[in-house]
Structure 1
């Protein structure tokens, strides 16, 4: 199933990338005045550089599990929105003031390929584009659904989610010199915010687009939480076990920056055991849909067992 899943993920990534490429051109949209060419180029460098496209894939798969009549094309605006927000976060995380990374997905990061000011603006523009896509009637005919999607993504990406998690991550490195080293509970909160919140948003937004009941939204919220934690645990494992060429970015960064991770706290064996438990729980959550949920079950295995 892993090979079949990776093929499905790659096929979806190609479709998503084509859609994103079409959105990121220099022709202004209705209501826009002009699109500076250098800014568009930097945004394209950030977004059209490959990547797993896992978050938008999860959104689409959850929506189509609940409503098989939905097409990928109909879900593309929301899928593109969550990928734009994710890519913005990578551009800003790579900046010298943040993680100071020179390599992303095997290519120079945006501030290296262009400059810091352009990278900041490219990130800002991608963040804004995410909400442009969700607010557009092309995303969903019902304004109430569009508003709910905007709120989901804003809460996941902002102060109490991804951005707040990045702030906690900087504090955990000792940047501000005013706090003790994080304990296990602190690390779990940090990771749930920085990594998990956006993955949970993907599954919840997919559930909304699929016409989910309140119970189903709760179920997919938990499913997203589990995948978010598993993704970060796997990432922490790869940081200590993988090579730079395998990852397409620098490795061994956590130890170099003094970051507390669950791998450092609990050890590799304990983290691998937790990953097994998380995959089992994720699979159990999909039980009501039986064999139709095979792709999402495979996603849980992929997240926990990935090698890059």
Structure 2
């Protein structure tokens, strides 16, 4: 027997109010509980990554600094973005037009930073695998710090550009009161936030994969050097190959979570972001922030050891930052 949803107004005292469709109580509570758990889980896991890399001196490497930047963006997703995904249950926006625009504006910055961090991570692995002899000279902690800073600054200015009309006049694209809709130029966002960065990630990782496979064969054959095209003959360390595989999983999961949203955007030059329609697609993007630290837990022994030291409060001991976690 089909359950009919009761139609009500978001603001009964306003004639211009949007209509809302109530959900069964059990369904609503289930979604609320699931969203709350995933949000809390995302915040805690990424906080553990942030504390681990920040505290332990051994983890202050260029690659881990990129992971730290990614963990910060993932942490902000769990803290600021996921709680507002209650639109999956409640289609009415009760916080006003300005908060609506600011929510999507901040979300856009965080998502942009995640994409940019993935590009930096792919470039880092490309240099580490394809040019290992010069990696320590080309990729230094200082250069990575500057790159991460520029990455976040770029995302802020890019988001201001994309949301300028919405920030100038919040609520201008709403059709009724209680709706949260923003408009961005989909063609620009598709090129700048998806096609260009994703193409760069795929090209870099295809190159990394080819070199990694060749180096793995060379190691099994007890060959000390392999020549690839006209490059310098070197042998990549097993640790670098393992890191490339792990980060390859991170990149693959990232692509699977981000592709649905941009595939939908291909059908329109302008993207009208409305919570009642696109909330699930946006949530899939946000869920990627929960998956990243889970991948670290499976593939990085240093993360598991760091978490144990954090949970047991051993990091509070003097000189704990010098503990061997590798």
TM-score (norm 1): 0.30
- Of structures 1 and 2, the one with the larger relative CO (CA 8 A, separation 6+) is 2
Larger Rg: 2
TM-score (norm 2): 0.29
